[in-house]
Amino acid sequence: MFEDRCKEGRELLERMKKPLIVNHYDCDGVCSGSLVKKGLLGLGKSPQNRTFRALDEEVLKGLRDEREIVFVDFGGSMGEKIEELLPDSKVLIIDHHQVKESKVLQVNPFLFGIDGGNELSASSTAYCVFGEPKLADLAIVGSVGDMQDPFIGWNRKVLEEGIKAGEITCEQDLRLFGRVSRPLISFLAYCTEPYLPGITGSEEKAAAFLGDVGIEVKKGENWRKYGDLNKEEKRVFVSGLVRHLYSMGRGNSARELIGEVYGLPKRPIGTELSDAKEFSTLINACGRHGKPEVGIGVCLGEEGAYKEASALLLRHRKALRDGIEFGSRAVEDYGKFYFLDGRGIIEDGIIGVVAGMLYSVISRDKPIIAIAYYEDGSVKISGRATAKLVKEGMNLSKLLHTATEGIGLGGGHNIAAGGKLEPNKLNEFLVRVGTELA
Ligand SMILES: [Mn+2]
């Protein structure tokens, strides 16, 4: 049973002294890496973190001198390689990607028939290993970062434990980024998820919209935030947005405006850290712009880390805005899927996020495959689908795995997957994707 495996994992951690935590660089990777660090500190250990964009043989070879290693948010598919390359190390894998069992001890929901794609992130899996309610906030932030909300199954259990312990709140409200931390005008002007046609990208138009619906943007000297509005103002604001989106032919986005939001009342109120979604974007910004250690510092509440992360977030949001502006012009309809060529324009670290956000400007009836350059000139692939497509049988992990066979690497989740291609194999890859989807 999954619970027994979690207990085994915990027992192995208890036998470690100075483990090296090796985690993935995205939000879930950084949150799970931080959660494990916090948990281990609580057990009196002296852990350290190292963050990687991907786990491959090169990385494993570089870990040869490490005696105790915990892999988080990746490693599940590398069990045999780990055995071969790190035969003398004590190793635990905490992962939630589709995988097979090996001799290395692995805590992974997929090994127990639980869907790690939507029921447990690496962070909430790590939470289950420690079972410590104080760690529930990071578990939830990681799951939100992996787009697993609204929570079901095991995530729901973690959420409920967190609520009970006073670490998390949960309510129905506007789901837009910045609802707790951003003044209303920039809240709207910088909104990329969903993209608000006619508003996103322009402070002037955002201010005009607020004027139209009759909401005051300032109270005395202070710029108001969505969280400062009273109930009636919130209602007026949301229905104005819904009307706007429908008038622009974006009814799909309108339906996604409201949903479950998760608050973190023990983190500084009025900052990104008090809302799980904003927290997750902050962490993503750190990891994806080469500063995962700042993200870990934020998760652990270290001084100074938040300020540095905020600067990275500004940069991140500008890159996303530019990316989606470019993407909505450049995305092509390839029949069975959409294709976005972001090479030379969109950074590899955010191409997947941009691909996912494009669903607010393209129809949701087929998957999107986007590409960018890695620093070494090879091609990064990111695939995104929708929950509805997955329900109808779409499996992007399988698709990318098959379509890259012999010419690259690919895998991940049903709904979001990634890969890497040798530079001159793009045409072959695209033809294969088309064939697989036919
Ligand atoms: Mn993950």
What is the chain's mean pLDDT, rounded? Answer: 94
Q: What confidence score (pLDDT) does residue 393 get?
A: 95
Domain-embedded: residue 403: yes
Residue 423 has pLDDT above 90, yes or no: no
Residue 2 has pLDDT above 80, yes or no: yes
Q: What confidence score (pLDDT) does residue 362 get?
A: 84
Percent of the chain at pLDDT > 90 equals 81
Q: Are residues 294 and 338 in the same domain?
A: no
Q: What is the mean pLDDT of residues 186-215?
A: 88
Q: What is the mean pLDDT of residues 244-253?
A: 88
Q: Are residues 260 and 336 in the same domain?
A: no
CATH of residue 76's domain is 3.90.1640.30
Separation of CA 30 and ligand 1 centre (Å)? 9
Q: What confidence score (pLDDT) does residue 37 get?
A: 98
Percent of the chain at pLDDT > 70 equals 100
Separation of CA 297 and ligand 1 centre (Å)? 19
Separation of CA 393 and ligand 1 centre (Å)? 21
Domain-embedded: residue 204: yes
Q: Are residues 210 and 158 in the same domain?
A: no
Domain count, the chain: 3
Separation of CA 169 and ligand 1 centre (Å)? 22
Domain-embedded: residue 326: no
Separation of CA 288 and ligand 1 centre (Å)? 14
Q: Categorize the per-residue pLDDT at 196 as very low, low, confident or very high, splitting at 50, 70 and 90.
A: confident
pLDDT digits (tens, 9 = 90+) for 369-403: 999 999 889 999 999 998 889 999 999 999 999 99
Residue 193 has pLDDT above 90, yes or no: no
Q: How far is CA 377 from CA 268, 343, 380, 422, in A?
A: 42, 10, 9, 9
Residue 251 has pLDDT above 80, yes or no: yes
Q: Are residues 185 and 317 in the same domain?
A: yes
Q: Which of 117, 139, 162 is the last residue of a domain?
A: 162
CA 54-24-387 angle, 5° bins: 95
Domain-embedded: residue 169: no
Domain-embedded: residue 242: yes
Residue 435 has pLDDT above 90, yes or no: yes
Q: What confidence score (pLDDT) does residue 40 get?
A: 98
Q: What confidence score (pLDDT) does residue 321 get?
A: 84
Q: Are residues 45 and 153 in the same domain?
A: yes
Q: What is the mean pLDDT of residues 261-285?
A: 94
Q: Are residues 136 and 210 in the same domain?
A: no
CATH of residue 398's domain is 3.10.310.40
Q: What is the mean pLDDT of residues 203-225?
A: 94
Domain-embedded: residue 167: no
Domain-embedded: residue 374: yes
Q: Are residues 7 and 111 in the same domain?
A: yes
Separation of CA 124 and ligand 1 centre (Å)? 10
Separation of CA 245 and ligand 1 centre (Å)? 31
Separation of CA 243 and ligand 1 centre (Å)? 35
Q: What confidence score (pLDDT) does residue 254 get?
A: 86
Among 102-106, 196-200, 235-239, 400-404, the minimum mean pLDDT is found in 196-200
Q: Are residues 64 and 141 in the same domain?
A: yes
Q: Are residues 37 and 68 in the same domain?
A: yes
pLDDT digits (tens, 9 = 90+) for 65-90: 999 999 999 999 999 999 999 999 99
Q: Are residues 70 and 15 in the same domain?
A: yes
Q: Are residues 287 and 184 in the same domain?
A: yes
Domain-embedded: residue 300: yes
Separation of CA 29 and ligand 1 centre (Å)? 6
pLDDT digits (tens, 9 = 90+) for 287-345: 988 899 999 999 999 989 999 999 999 988 889 889 988 998 999 999 999 999 999 99
pLDDT digits (tens, 9 = 90+) for 130-147: 999 999 999 999 999 999
Q: Which of 115, 131, 162 is the last residue of a domain?
A: 162
Q: Which residues surround ligand 1, an ion (CB under 5 A)?
A: 28, 73, 122, 146
- Tell me the residue range of the domain where 195 lies: 174-321
Q: Are residues 49 and 113 in the same domain?
A: yes
Separation of CA 72 and ligand 1 centre (Å)? 9
Separation of CA 146 and ligand 1 centre (Å)? 6
pLDDT digits (tens, 9 = 90+) for 313-326: 998 888 988 998 89
Q: Which of 271, 291, 321 is the last residue of a domain?
A: 321
